[in-house]
Structure 1
Protein backbone atom coordinates (compact mmCIF):
# COMPACT_ATOMS: atom_id res chain seq x y z
CA UNK A 1 0.00 0.00 0.00
CA UNK A 2 3.00 2.26 0.48
CA UNK A 3 3.71 2.39 -3.26
CA UNK A 4 0.17 3.56 -4.04
CA UNK A 5 0.52 6.44 -1.58
CA UNK A 6 3.82 7.45 -3.16
CA UNK A 7 2.33 7.43 -6.66
CA UNK A 8 -0.69 9.34 -5.47
CA UNK A 9 1.51 12.04 -3.92
CA UNK A 10 3.65 12.32 -7.05
CA UNK A 11 0.55 12.49 -9.25
CA UNK A 12 -0.98 15.27 -7.14
CA UNK A 13 2.27 17.22 -7.30
CA UNK A 14 3.16 16.78 -11.00
CA UNK A 15 -0.26 16.61 -12.70
CA UNK A 16 -0.84 20.40 -12.87
CA UNK A 17 2.59 20.85 -14.49
CA UNK A 18 2.06 18.01 -16.97
CA UNK A 19 -1.44 19.22 -17.79
CA UNK A 20 -0.19 22.74 -18.61
CA UNK A 21 2.59 21.37 -20.82
CA UNK A 22 0.21 19.05 -22.68
CA UNK A 23 -2.33 21.85 -23.21
CA UNK A 24 0.31 24.25 -24.55
CA UNK A 25 1.65 21.54 -26.88
CA UNK A 26 -1.87 20.90 -28.19
CA UNK A 27 -2.53 24.61 -28.84
CA UNK A 28 0.83 25.13 -30.53
CA UNK A 29 0.24 22.16 -32.86
CA UNK A 30 -3.28 23.35 -33.65
CA UNK A 31 -2.12 26.87 -34.49
CA UNK A 32 0.78 25.54 -36.59
CA UNK A 33 -1.61 23.39 -38.63
CA UNK A 34 -4.02 26.26 -39.28
CA UNK A 35 -1.27 28.66 -40.36
CA UNK A 36 0.48 26.41 -42.85
CA UNK A 37 -0.08 27.11 -46.56
CA UNK A 38 -2.41 25.08 -48.74
CA UNK A 39 -0.74 22.12 -50.47
CA UNK A 40 0.23 22.64 -54.07
CA UNK A 41 -1.32 20.38 -56.71
CA UNK A 42 0.92 17.72 -58.21
CA UNK A 43 2.42 18.35 -61.62
CA UNK A 44 0.76 16.25 -64.34
CA UNK A 45 3.85 14.11 -64.88
CA UNK A 46 4.07 13.23 -61.17
CA UNK A 47 0.34 12.45 -61.06
CA UNK A 48 0.74 10.17 -64.10
CA UNK A 49 3.71 8.42 -62.49
CA UNK A 50 1.75 7.85 -59.28
CA UNK A 51 -1.22 6.48 -61.25
CA UNK A 52 1.05 4.07 -63.13
CA UNK A 53 2.63 3.00 -59.85
CA UNK A 54 -0.80 2.38 -58.31
CA UNK A 55 -2.02 0.35 -61.31
CA UNK A 56 1.10 -1.83 -61.47
CA UNK A 57 1.05 -2.39 -57.71
CA UNK A 58 -2.60 -3.42 -57.90
CA UNK A 59 -1.89 -5.74 -60.84
CA UNK A 60 0.99 -7.50 -59.12
CA UNK A 61 -0.98 -7.77 -55.90
CA UNK A 62 -3.79 -9.39 -57.88
CA UNK A 63 -1.35 -11.77 -59.58
CA UNK A 64 0.11 -12.80 -56.23
CA UNK A 65 -3.21 -14.24 -55.06
CA UNK A 66 -3.12 -18.03 -54.61
CA UNK A 67 -4.90 -20.38 -56.99
CA UNK A 68 -7.50 -21.54 -54.43
CA UNK A 69 -9.11 -18.08 -54.48
CA UNK A 70 -10.17 -18.63 -58.08
CA UNK A 71 -9.29 -15.04 -58.94
CA UNK A 72 -5.85 -15.59 -60.45
CA UNK A 73 -5.74 -17.65 -63.66
CA UNK A 74 -1.93 -17.37 -63.76
CA UNK A 75 -1.29 -18.82 -60.30
CA UNK A 76 1.21 -21.68 -60.20
CA UNK A 77 -0.19 -25.16 -59.82
CA UNK A 78 0.00 -26.64 -56.33
CA UNK A 79 3.10 -28.58 -55.37
CA UNK A 80 2.49 -32.35 -55.30
CA UNK A 81 4.95 -32.82 -52.45
CA UNK A 82 3.00 -30.49 -50.18
CA UNK A 83 -0.35 -31.87 -51.35
CA UNK A 84 0.64 -35.43 -50.46
CA UNK A 85 2.76 -34.51 -47.41
CA UNK A 86 5.63 -36.45 -48.97
CA UNK A 87 9.36 -36.01 -48.78
CA UNK A 88 11.59 -35.34 -51.74
CA UNK A 89 13.03 -38.87 -51.64
CA UNK A 90 9.63 -40.64 -51.58
CA UNK A 91 9.50 -43.29 -54.33
CA UNK A 92 7.69 -42.17 -57.47
CA UNK A 93 5.03 -44.90 -57.35
CA UNK A 94 4.08 -44.11 -53.75
CA UNK A 95 4.06 -40.37 -54.44
CA UNK A 96 1.67 -40.68 -57.38
CA UNK A 97 -0.55 -43.24 -55.60
CA UNK A 98 -0.98 -40.67 -52.83
CA UNK A 99 -1.68 -38.01 -55.45
CA UNK A 100 -4.27 -40.24 -57.17
CA UNK A 101 -6.14 -40.59 -53.86
CA UNK A 102 -6.52 -36.80 -53.80
CA UNK A 103 -7.86 -36.59 -57.37
CA UNK A 104 -11.49 -37.25 -58.39
CA UNK A 105 -12.25 -40.94 -59.04
CA UNK A 106 -8.77 -41.81 -57.70
CA UNK A 107 -7.22 -41.33 -61.15
CA UNK A 108 -4.29 -39.21 -62.23
CA UNK A 109 -4.71 -36.37 -64.68
CA UNK A 110 -2.81 -36.42 -67.99
CA UNK A 111 -0.46 -33.79 -66.57
CA UNK A 112 0.23 -36.07 -63.60
CA UNK A 113 1.10 -39.03 -65.83
CA UNK A 114 3.51 -36.90 -67.86
CA UNK A 115 5.07 -35.67 -64.65
CA UNK A 116 5.36 -39.23 -63.35
CA UNK A 117 7.40 -40.15 -66.42
CA UNK A 118 9.72 -37.19 -65.78
CA UNK A 119 10.41 -38.01 -62.12
CA UNK A 120 13.28 -40.39 -62.85
CA UNK A 121 16.05 -38.77 -60.82
CA UNK A 122 16.45 -36.60 -57.73
CA UNK A 123 17.81 -33.77 -59.87
CA UNK A 124 14.56 -33.65 -61.88
CA UNK A 125 12.59 -33.53 -58.64
CA UNK A 126 14.67 -30.58 -57.51
CA UNK A 127 14.07 -28.89 -60.86
CA UNK A 128 10.34 -29.48 -60.34
CA UNK A 129 10.53 -27.79 -56.95
CA UNK A 130 12.52 -24.89 -58.32
CA UNK A 131 10.67 -24.16 -61.59
CA UNK A 132 7.31 -25.94 -61.36
CA UNK A 133 5.63 -28.58 -63.51
CA UNK A 134 4.96 -26.38 -66.56
CA UNK A 135 8.63 -25.61 -67.05
CA UNK A 136 9.70 -29.20 -66.46
CA UNK A 137 7.19 -30.60 -68.97
CA UNK A 138 6.94 -27.93 -71.66
CA UNK A 139 10.46 -26.57 -72.12
CA UNK A 140 11.62 -27.76 -75.58
CA UNK A 141 15.29 -26.83 -75.24
CA UNK A 142 15.92 -27.67 -71.56
CA UNK A 143 17.96 -30.65 -70.46
CA UNK A 144 18.47 -32.00 -66.94
CA UNK A 145 22.23 -32.00 -67.53
CA UNK A 146 22.24 -28.21 -67.91
CA UNK A 147 20.07 -26.89 -65.09
CA UNK A 148 20.67 -23.29 -66.13
CA UNK A 149 18.83 -23.91 -69.40
CA UNK A 150 15.58 -23.90 -67.40
CA UNK A 151 16.17 -20.28 -66.46
CA UNK A 152 15.61 -19.18 -70.04
CA UNK A 153 12.14 -20.71 -70.24
Structure 2
Protein backbone atom coordinates (compact mmCIF):
# COMPACT_ATOMS: atom_id res chain seq x y z
CA UNK A 1 0.00 0.00 0.00
CA UNK A 2 1.16 3.55 -0.73
CA UNK A 3 1.63 5.55 2.47
CA UNK A 4 0.04 8.95 3.02
CA UNK A 5 3.41 10.83 3.24
CA UNK A 6 4.31 9.53 -0.23
CA UNK A 7 0.96 10.74 -1.56
CA UNK A 8 1.52 14.15 0.04
CA UNK A 9 4.98 14.42 -1.50
CA UNK A 10 3.56 13.48 -4.90
CA UNK A 11 0.83 16.12 -4.60
CA UNK A 12 3.31 18.82 -3.52
CA UNK A 13 5.68 18.11 -6.40
CA UNK A 14 3.26 17.46 -9.24
CA UNK A 15 0.12 19.21 -8.00
CA UNK A 16 0.96 22.68 -9.39
CA UNK A 17 1.97 21.22 -12.76
CA UNK A 18 -1.21 19.16 -13.02
CA UNK A 19 -3.33 22.15 -11.98
CA UNK A 20 -1.69 24.56 -14.45
CA UNK A 21 -1.99 22.09 -17.33
CA UNK A 22 -5.59 21.28 -16.46
CA UNK A 23 -6.50 24.97 -16.14
CA UNK A 24 -4.85 25.75 -19.48
CA UNK A 25 -6.77 22.92 -21.12
CA UNK A 26 -10.02 24.14 -19.56
CA UNK A 27 -9.41 27.70 -20.75
CA UNK A 28 -8.72 26.41 -24.27
CA UNK A 29 -12.10 24.70 -24.34
CA UNK A 30 -14.17 27.63 -23.09
CA UNK A 31 -16.94 29.00 -25.24
CA UNK A 32 -15.83 31.85 -27.51
CA UNK A 33 -19.32 32.96 -28.50
CA UNK A 34 -22.99 32.42 -27.79
CA UNK A 35 -24.04 28.76 -27.46
CA UNK A 36 -25.55 27.07 -30.47
CA UNK A 37 -29.00 25.54 -30.43
CA UNK A 38 -29.04 21.75 -30.23
CA UNK A 39 -29.98 19.96 -33.43
CA UNK A 40 -32.83 17.48 -33.61
CA UNK A 41 -30.40 14.57 -33.87
CA UNK A 42 -28.56 15.70 -30.73
CA UNK A 43 -31.87 15.91 -28.88
CA UNK A 44 -32.61 12.32 -29.88
CA UNK A 45 -29.20 11.19 -28.65
CA UNK A 46 -29.77 12.80 -25.26
CA UNK A 47 -33.23 11.22 -25.00
CA UNK A 48 -31.86 7.74 -25.77
CA UNK A 49 -29.08 8.14 -23.20
CA UNK A 50 -31.58 9.37 -20.61
CA UNK A 51 -33.85 6.37 -21.13
CA UNK A 52 -30.87 3.97 -21.04
CA UNK A 53 -29.63 5.53 -17.80
CA UNK A 54 -33.05 5.29 -16.17
CA UNK A 55 -33.37 1.62 -17.21
CA UNK A 56 -29.90 0.93 -15.78
CA UNK A 57 -30.86 2.50 -12.46
CA UNK A 58 -34.15 0.60 -12.35
CA UNK A 59 -32.24 -2.67 -12.87
CA UNK A 60 -30.55 -2.11 -9.50
CA UNK A 61 -33.85 -2.44 -7.62
CA UNK A 62 -34.19 -5.61 -5.50
CA UNK A 63 -37.26 -6.59 -7.53
CA UNK A 64 -35.10 -7.33 -10.58
CA UNK A 65 -32.32 -9.11 -8.65
CA UNK A 66 -32.38 -12.87 -7.93
CA UNK A 67 -33.44 -13.91 -4.48
CA UNK A 68 -30.73 -14.44 -1.88
CA UNK A 69 -32.03 -17.13 0.47
CA UNK A 70 -29.32 -16.42 3.06
CA UNK A 71 -30.25 -12.75 3.34
CA UNK A 72 -33.95 -13.56 3.16
CA UNK A 73 -33.70 -15.88 6.13
CA UNK A 74 -31.00 -13.84 7.94
CA UNK A 75 -28.72 -16.87 8.07
CA UNK A 76 -24.97 -17.27 8.32
CA UNK A 77 -23.04 -18.68 5.40
CA UNK A 78 -22.11 -21.72 7.59
CA UNK A 79 -25.68 -22.56 8.60
CA UNK A 80 -26.69 -26.22 8.13
CA UNK A 81 -28.56 -26.80 4.91
CA UNK A 82 -31.64 -28.34 6.53
CA UNK A 83 -31.98 -25.43 8.93
CA UNK A 84 -31.58 -22.93 6.09
CA UNK A 85 -34.38 -24.40 4.00
CA UNK A 86 -36.57 -24.99 7.05
CA UNK A 87 -36.41 -21.25 7.71
CA UNK A 88 -37.10 -20.59 4.03
CA UNK A 89 -40.17 -22.84 4.10
CA UNK A 90 -41.65 -20.72 6.86
CA UNK A 91 -41.38 -17.62 4.64
CA UNK A 92 -42.56 -19.05 1.32
CA UNK A 93 -43.18 -22.34 -0.45
CA UNK A 94 -40.24 -24.46 -1.55
CA UNK A 95 -39.81 -24.53 -5.35
CA UNK A 96 -38.04 -27.10 -7.56
CA UNK A 97 -35.07 -24.73 -7.83
CA UNK A 98 -34.89 -24.70 -4.04
CA UNK A 99 -34.72 -28.48 -4.06
CA UNK A 100 -31.75 -28.35 -6.41
CA UNK A 101 -30.05 -25.79 -4.20
CA UNK A 102 -30.79 -27.94 -1.14
CA UNK A 103 -28.87 -30.78 -2.78
CA UNK A 104 -25.92 -28.64 -3.86
CA UNK A 105 -25.40 -26.22 -0.97
CA UNK A 106 -23.96 -28.95 1.21
CA UNK A 107 -20.35 -27.76 1.08
CA UNK A 108 -18.73 -24.48 2.01
CA UNK A 109 -17.20 -24.14 -1.46
CA UNK A 110 -20.65 -24.36 -3.06
CA UNK A 111 -21.87 -21.56 -0.82
CA UNK A 112 -18.87 -19.45 -1.80
CA UNK A 113 -19.80 -20.01 -5.43
CA UNK A 114 -23.38 -19.00 -4.57
CA UNK A 115 -22.12 -15.71 -3.10
CA UNK A 116 -19.89 -15.06 -6.10
CA UNK A 117 -22.06 -16.14 -9.06
CA UNK A 118 -25.59 -16.17 -7.64
CA UNK A 119 -28.06 -19.06 -7.66
CA UNK A 120 -28.45 -19.49 -11.42
CA UNK A 121 -25.22 -21.44 -12.16
CA UNK A 122 -25.77 -23.76 -9.20
CA UNK A 123 -29.34 -24.49 -10.29
CA UNK A 124 -28.96 -24.70 -14.07
CA UNK A 125 -25.40 -25.79 -14.82
CA UNK A 126 -25.13 -29.57 -14.95
CA UNK A 127 -21.52 -29.75 -16.10
CA UNK A 128 -20.05 -27.25 -13.61
CA UNK A 129 -17.72 -28.63 -10.95
CA UNK A 130 -16.70 -27.22 -7.59
CA UNK A 131 -13.16 -28.44 -8.21
CA UNK A 132 -13.00 -26.25 -11.32
CA UNK A 133 -14.28 -22.78 -10.41
CA UNK A 134 -13.72 -21.59 -13.97
CA UNK A 135 -16.60 -23.80 -15.12
CA UNK A 136 -19.02 -21.62 -13.14
CA UNK A 137 -17.39 -18.53 -14.58
CA UNK A 138 -17.77 -19.90 -18.12
CA UNK A 139 -21.44 -20.62 -17.52
CA UNK A 140 -22.09 -17.20 -15.95
CA UNK A 141 -20.09 -15.27 -18.57
CA UNK A 142 -22.95 -14.82 -21.12
CA UNK A 143 -25.23 -13.54 -18.35
CA UNK A 144 -22.54 -11.12 -17.20
CA UNK A 145 -21.74 -9.94 -20.73
CA UNK A 146 -25.32 -9.45 -21.98
CA UNK A 147 -26.06 -6.13 -20.16
CA UNK A 148 -22.71 -4.72 -21.21
CA UNK A 149 -23.17 -5.80 -24.84
CA UNK A 150 -26.55 -4.09 -24.89
CA UNK A 151 -25.01 -0.99 -23.33
CA UNK A 152 -22.15 -0.91 -25.86
CA UNK A 153 -24.70 -1.31 -28.66
CA UNK A 154 -26.60 1.72 -27.33
CA UNK A 155 -23.35 3.68 -27.14
CA UNK A 156 -22.56 2.70 -30.72
CA UNK A 157 -25.98 3.87 -31.89
CA UNK A 158 -25.86 7.26 -30.17
CA UNK A 159 -22.27 7.92 -31.32
CA UNK A 160 -22.95 7.09 -34.96
CA UNK A 161 -23.04 9.87 -37.54
CA UNK A 162 -26.68 9.01 -38.33
CA UNK A 163 -28.04 11.21 -35.54
CA UNK A 164 -25.42 13.91 -35.17
CA UNK A 165 -21.72 14.43 -35.95
CA UNK A 166 -21.17 15.63 -32.40
CA UNK A 167 -21.82 12.15 -31.04
CA UNK A 168 -19.26 10.54 -33.35
CA UNK A 169 -16.53 12.72 -31.80
CA UNK A 170 -16.86 10.70 -28.57
CA UNK A 171 -17.27 7.26 -30.17
CA UNK A 172 -13.88 5.92 -29.10
CA UNK A 173 -14.13 7.22 -25.53
CA UNK A 174 -17.66 5.84 -25.12
CA UNK A 175 -16.65 2.40 -26.42
CA UNK A 176 -13.64 2.27 -24.12
CA UNK A 177 -15.82 3.24 -21.15
CA UNK A 178 -18.37 0.51 -21.96
CA UNK A 179 -15.64 -2.13 -22.30
CA UNK A 180 -13.99 -0.93 -19.07
CA UNK A 181 -17.22 -1.57 -17.16
CA UNK A 182 -17.39 -5.14 -18.45
CA UNK A 183 -13.72 -5.85 -17.75
CA UNK A 184 -14.05 -4.43 -14.24
CA UNK A 185 -17.00 -6.71 -13.47
CA UNK A 186 -15.19 -9.68 -14.99
CA UNK A 187 -12.18 -8.92 -12.80
CA UNK A 188 -14.16 -8.87 -9.56
CA UNK A 189 -16.05 -12.06 -10.45
CA UNK A 190 -13.36 -14.21 -12.03
CA UNK A 191 -9.95 -12.81 -11.09
CA UNK A 192 -10.06 -11.06 -7.72
CA UNK A 193 -9.91 -13.33 -4.67
CA UNK A 194 -10.52 -10.68 -2.01
CA UNK A 195 -14.26 -11.38 -1.71
CA UNK A 196 -13.65 -15.15 -1.70
CA UNK A 197 -11.12 -14.78 1.13
CA UNK A 198 -13.42 -12.49 3.11
CA UNK A 199 -16.32 -14.92 2.80
CA UNK A 200 -14.10 -17.82 3.89
CA UNK A 201 -13.35 -16.01 7.14
CA UNK A 202 -16.84 -14.52 7.65
CA UNK A 203 -18.61 -15.57 10.83
CA UNK A 204 -21.60 -13.24 10.90
CA UNK A 205 -24.18 -12.55 8.15
CA UNK A 206 -23.00 -8.92 7.98
CA UNK A 207 -19.45 -10.05 7.22
CA UNK A 208 -20.41 -11.91 4.02
CA UNK A 209 -19.68 -10.13 0.73
CA UNK A 210 -22.43 -11.02 -1.72
CA UNK A 211 -20.43 -10.30 -4.87
CA UNK A 212 -23.14 -11.21 -7.36
CA UNK A 213 -25.76 -8.91 -5.85
CA UNK A 214 -23.27 -6.12 -5.20
CA UNK A 215 -22.13 -6.15 -8.83
CA UNK A 216 -25.74 -5.91 -10.01
CA UNK A 217 -25.98 -2.66 -8.06
CA UNK A 218 -22.66 -1.24 -9.21
CA UNK A 219 -23.25 -2.35 -12.81
CA UNK A 220 -26.44 -0.31 -13.06
CA UNK A 221 -24.84 2.70 -11.40
CA UNK A 222 -21.78 2.45 -13.66
CA UNK A 223 -23.86 2.22 -16.85
CA UNK A 224 -26.02 5.16 -15.74
CA UNK A 225 -22.89 7.18 -14.96
CA UNK A 226 -21.35 6.50 -18.38
CA UNK A 227 -24.60 7.46 -20.08
CA UNK A 228 -24.84 10.66 -18.03
CA UNK A 229 -21.21 11.53 -18.78
CA UNK A 230 -21.62 10.89 -22.51
CA UNK A 231 -24.83 12.91 -22.64
CA UNK A 232 -23.15 15.79 -20.84
CA UNK A 233 -20.13 15.96 -23.15
CA UNK A 234 -22.35 15.62 -26.24
CA UNK A 235 -24.46 18.48 -24.90
CA UNK A 236 -21.33 20.61 -24.42
CA UNK A 237 -20.09 19.73 -27.89
CA UNK A 238 -23.46 20.32 -29.55
CA UNK A 239 -23.89 23.76 -27.98
CA UNK A 240 -20.31 24.81 -28.76
CA UNK A 241 -19.27 24.98 -25.09
CA UNK A 242 -16.64 22.28 -25.72
CA UNK A 243 -14.39 22.72 -28.74
CA UNK A 244 -11.44 20.44 -27.99
CA UNK A 245 -11.04 17.66 -30.53
CA UNK A 246 -13.43 19.20 -33.04
CA UNK A 247 -10.81 20.30 -35.60
CA UNK A 248 -11.58 17.39 -37.90
CA UNK A 249 -15.30 18.02 -37.54
CA UNK A 250 -14.86 21.69 -38.37
CA UNK A 251 -12.85 20.84 -41.48
CA UNK A 252 -15.58 18.39 -42.49
CA UNK A 253 -18.26 21.05 -41.97
CA UNK A 254 -16.28 23.54 -44.08
CA UNK A 255 -15.85 20.97 -46.83
CA UNK A 256 -19.57 20.21 -46.78
CA UNK A 257 -20.38 23.93 -46.94
CA UNK A 258 -18.01 24.44 -49.88
CA UNK A 259 -19.40 21.37 -51.59
CA UNK A 260 -22.98 22.67 -51.24
CA UNK A 261 -21.93 26.11 -52.50
CA UNK A 262 -20.15 24.62 -55.51
CA UNK A 263 -23.18 22.45 -56.29
CA UNK A 264 -25.41 25.54 -56.15
CA UNK A 265 -23.08 27.49 -58.47
CA UNK A 266 -22.93 24.56 -60.86
CA UNK A 267 -26.72 24.28 -60.89
CA UNK A 268 -27.07 27.99 -61.67
CA UNK A 269 -24.47 27.86 -64.44
CA UNK A 270 -26.12 24.79 -65.89
CA UNK A 271 -29.54 26.46 -65.87
CA UNK A 272 -28.11 29.61 -67.48
CA UNK A 273 -26.41 27.51 -70.14
CA UNK A 274 -29.66 25.72 -70.90
CA UNK A 275 -31.48 29.06 -71.08
CA UNK A 276 -28.85 30.48 -73.44
CA UNK A 277 -29.01 27.44 -75.68
CA UNK A 278 -32.80 27.65 -75.71
CA UNK A 279 -32.68 31.31 -76.69
CA UNK A 280 -30.09 30.75 -79.40
CA UNK A 281 -31.95 27.75 -80.78
CA UNK A 282 -35.24 29.63 -81.17
CA UNK A 283 -35.40 32.20 -83.98
CA UNK A 284 -38.00 34.46 -82.33
CA UNK A 285 -36.18 34.45 -78.97
CA UNK A 286 -32.83 35.07 -80.69
CA UNK A 287 -34.23 38.10 -82.53
CA UNK A 288 -35.84 39.45 -79.35
CA UNK A 289 -32.56 39.03 -77.50
CA UNK A 290 -30.69 40.87 -80.25
CA UNK A 291 -33.23 43.69 -80.23
CA UNK A 292 -33.00 43.91 -76.43
CA UNK A 293 -29.22 44.34 -76.41
CA UNK A 294 -29.34 46.80 -79.29
CA UNK A 295 -31.88 48.85 -77.34
CA UNK A 296 -29.64 48.69 -74.27
CA UNK A 297 -26.68 49.95 -76.28
CA UNK A 298 -28.71 52.86 -77.73
CA UNK A 299 -29.99 53.78 -74.26
CA UNK A 300 -26.42 53.80 -72.92
CA UNK A 301 -25.22 56.09 -75.69
CA UNK A 302 -28.16 58.45 -75.16
CA UNK A 303 -27.37 58.64 -71.47
CA UNK A 304 -23.71 59.42 -72.11
CA UNK A 305 -24.72 62.20 -74.55
CA UNK A 306 -27.00 63.86 -72.03
CA UNK A 307 -25.81 67.36 -70.95
CA UNK A 308 -26.22 66.74 -67.25
CA UNK A 309 -24.25 63.50 -67.47
CA UNK A 310 -21.48 65.34 -69.32
CA UNK A 311 -21.34 67.99 -66.59
CA UNK A 312 -21.10 65.35 -63.87
CA UNK A 313 -18.33 63.52 -65.71
CA UNK A 314 -16.43 66.78 -66.24
CA UNK A 315 -16.71 67.69 -62.55
CA UNK A 316 -15.46 64.25 -61.59
CA UNK A 317 -12.48 64.61 -63.92
CA UNK A 318 -11.74 68.07 -62.47
CA UNK A 319 -11.93 66.78 -58.92
CA UNK A 320 -9.59 63.94 -59.81
CA UNK A 321 -7.09 66.43 -61.30
CA UNK A 322 -7.24 68.62 -58.20
CA UNK A 323 -6.70 65.63 -55.95
CA UNK A 324 -3.68 64.59 -58.01
CA UNK A 325 -2.14 68.07 -57.79
CA UNK A 326 -2.80 68.27 -54.04
CA UNK A 327 -1.13 64.92 -53.51
CA UNK A 328 1.88 66.02 -55.55
CA UNK A 329 2.26 69.21 -53.45
CA UNK A 330 2.02 67.21 -50.21
CA UNK A 331 4.67 64.78 -51.36
CA UNK A 332 6.99 67.63 -52.38
CA UNK A 333 6.60 69.18 -48.92
CA UNK A 334 7.43 65.93 -47.21
CA UNK A 335 10.53 65.45 -49.39
CA UNK A 336 11.73 68.99 -48.62
CA UNK A 337 11.29 68.40 -44.87
CA UNK A 338 13.21 65.10 -44.98
CA UNK A 339 16.00 66.71 -47.03
CA UNK A 340 16.25 69.60 -44.53
CA UNK A 341 16.58 67.15 -41.61
CA UNK A 342 19.44 65.36 -43.42
CA UNK A 343 21.19 68.61 -44.33
CA UNK A 344 20.65 68.26 -48.06
CA UNK A 345 19.80 71.03 -50.43
CA UNK A 346 16.23 71.04 -51.59
CA UNK A 347 15.58 71.21 -55.25
CA UNK A 348 11.96 70.69 -56.09
CA UNK A 349 11.40 69.00 -59.36
CA UNK A 350 9.18 70.76 -61.81
CA UNK A 351 5.46 70.41 -61.10
CA UNK A 352 4.80 69.19 -64.58
CA UNK A 353 6.91 66.10 -63.95
CA UNK A 354 4.49 65.02 -61.20
CA UNK A 355 1.49 65.33 -63.42
CA UNK A 356 0.01 62.02 -64.47
Give the TM-score taking structure 2 as reference length: 0.28
Deviation sequence 1:67-90 (CA, Å, 0-9, x none): 1xxxxxxx2222111111111111
What corresponds to 2:78 in structure 1? 89
1:65 aligns to 2:61 (yes or no): yes
86, 89, 95: which is aligned to 1:100? Answer: 89
Q: Which stretch shifts more, 116-125 or 75-84?
A: 75-84
Q: Distance in 2 between matches of 1:60 and 1:49?
A: 16
TM-aligned CA deviation for residue 141 of structure 1: 3.9
What corresponds to 1:122 in structure 2? 108
1:78 aligns to 2:57 (yes or no): no
Structure 2 unaligned blocks of 5 or more: 1-32, 141-356
Larger relative CO (CA 8 A, sep 6+): 1 or 2? 2
Deviation sequence 1:64-116 (CA, Å, 0-9, x none): 2221xxxxxxx222211111111111111111111111124xxx222211110
Deviation sequence 1:8-46 (CA, Å, 0-9, x none): xxxxxxxxxxxxxxxxxxxxxxxxxxxxx7642124553
1:26-41 equivalences under 5 Å are 39-41=35-37
Higher helix share: 2
SS in 1 for 2:115: helix
What corresponds to 1:143 in structure 2? 129
Alpha-carbon RMSD? 2.0
Structure 1 unaligned blocks of 5 or more: 1-36, 68-74
Give the TM-score taking structure 1 as reference length: 0.61
Question: Contact between 1:118 and 1:124, CA under 8 Å: does it hold in 2?
Answer: yes
What corresponds to 1:51 in structure 2? 47
Rg bigger for which structure?
2
